[in-house]
Structure 1
Amino acid sequence: MTRSAANRALRAVGLVVLVLMVGSAGAAFRCGNSLVDIGDWPVEVVERCGEPDYVAVYPAQSVPGLGITETIEHWYYNPGPQGLIRRLEFRNGELRRERSLGYGFYPSTARGCNSRFLREGLSEFEVVRRCGEPLSERIYWRAFGHSRYRGTGSSVTVIPVKEWLFEFGSNEFRRVVILKNGLVTEVRSDDKPR
């Protein structure tokens, strides 16, 4: 075997190993000493990971006369500052997605919210733990993307959007925090008189 053929074979083996690692990374993830897999029931996740630190529930579908027929839940786990916050997404009682967010924090440091803390990229969990529940909120669904050709499939994604209103005292304007799919995407001043 020539040197170039050996290099090609080695690269091919490396590529196969990389593909297998990437493919398996999305299928299961470690929670303590246990594995949690996409498709698991909420009770199975609690048995392996414990109770979540925060849960946000969204109505995903409603039928006139019946009400909400489908929900989405975001479960957040905070491992502290040495690990990444993990968000699990359940749809109708089935684990559908897992996402790692920024570094966690000690619960004792989750205080002292001010208007400068609110910024893009924070999760709803981080905002609530640091700032408490908002004064008021709105939840709606928005379609993002576009249809490529009229009448044929589309690349439109519908995600939950929340608007939260926070107050920081009489010397500051209220802040409106826009969260798309559980993450802060915009913070603006609500300059209306109170």
Structure 2
Amino acid sequence: MNRLLCFLILLVATAPVLAATRCGGRLVDEGDRDFRVRERCGEPFWSESWLGVDVSNRGSVYEQQREVEWSVWYYNFGPRALMLRLVFQDGVLHSSETLGYGVTRIGESCRANMNFTGLTSGELVARCGEPAHRREARDSVVFRPGPGIENWRERRREEWVYDFGGSQFQRVLTIVNGRVFSAEPLSR
């Protein structure tokens, strides 16, 4: 009984620390400002950003629109550690996600026959480097959680082309909102 009580006290005492994300040897937590995260984690190897608009009181005499900036930073801590994806909203850490294992060198772990689908853009850049060709398009998606409230978000669609040289097919990857949606071979 005493052991269980000690364990529960220890668990409760460390709960806030367990919620934090380890970034190399330092901790970051939701709500941290982007400059603090940069101080603790260093420069990300890949980042992307986009804008959204939050509308309140739509259709009334006084409508308010607020631009929201979203940023995603990717960190690679080497092949023996998991990569990290940090999402910021208006410069404040909103969420974090651990990804697959990192790489020794950016862009040197790519194969033409690998499964690209589901990778984040950061994982893709870590393994394959930046694409030979890149094209972007953006759509607006409107979410209406209640009367008079709208959240406008960009749906980012990108087409990345990787050339594996020689007689191998090129790969055309469709990326939607930062994740590989499809991969198609492209003959020479």
TM tier, smaller:
0.5 to 0.7
RMSD: 3.8
TM-score, normalization: structure 1?
A: 0.64
Q: Is the 8 A contact 2:46 2:125 kept in 1?
A: no
Question: Could you tell me which residue of structure 1 aligns to residue 185 of structure 2?
Answer: 189
Structure with the largest fraction of helix: 1
After TM superposition, list the pairs within 5 Å mapping 1:142-161 onto structure 2: 159-161=155-157
Mark the runs of 5 or more structure 2 residues left unpaired by the alignment: 54-66
Task: Indicate conservation of the 8 Å contact 1:78/1:85, yes or no.
Answer: yes
Provide, for residues 122-144 of structure 1, a one-character-per-residue CA deviation record: whole Å limited to 9, x for no partner: 23223223333212223334578
Q: 1:105 deviation in Å? A: 2.2
SS state of the match for residue 107, structure 1? Answer: coil
Higher RCO, 1 vs 2 (CA within 8 Å, ≥6 residues apart)? 2
Is 1:79 the counterpart of 2:70 in the alignment?
Answer: no
Give secondary structure in 2 for the equivalent of 1:47: helix
Alignment of 1:43-192 (within 5 A): 43-52=35-44, 54-61=45-52, 70-107=68-105, 110-111=107-108, 113-141=110-138, 159-169=155-165, 171-191=167-187
Cα pair 2:24 2:77 within 8 Å, conserved: no
Alignment of 1:2-13 (within 5 A): none
Q: Which amino acid aligns with 1:168?
A: F
Aligned residues: 166
Between stretches 36-45 and 123-132, larger displacement belongs to 123-132
Q: Tell me the distance in 2 between the aligned counterparts of 1:100 and 1:142.
A: 27
How far apart, CA to CA, are the structure 2 residues paired with 1:160 and 1:25?
A: 34
Q: Secondary structure at the match of 2:164?
A: coil
More moved, 82-91 vs 114-123:
114-123
Percent sequence identity over aligned pairs: 34
**Alignment deviations for residues 23-55 of structure 1 (CA, whole Å, 9 cap, x no partner):** x58953233453312122221001112222x22
> 2:52, 2:153 within 8 Å by CA — same for their partners in 1?
no
Q: Indicate the SS of the match to 1:39.
A: coil
**How far apart, CA to CA, are the structure 2 residues paired with 1:162 and 1:38?**
28
One-letter identity of the residue aligned with 1:49:
C
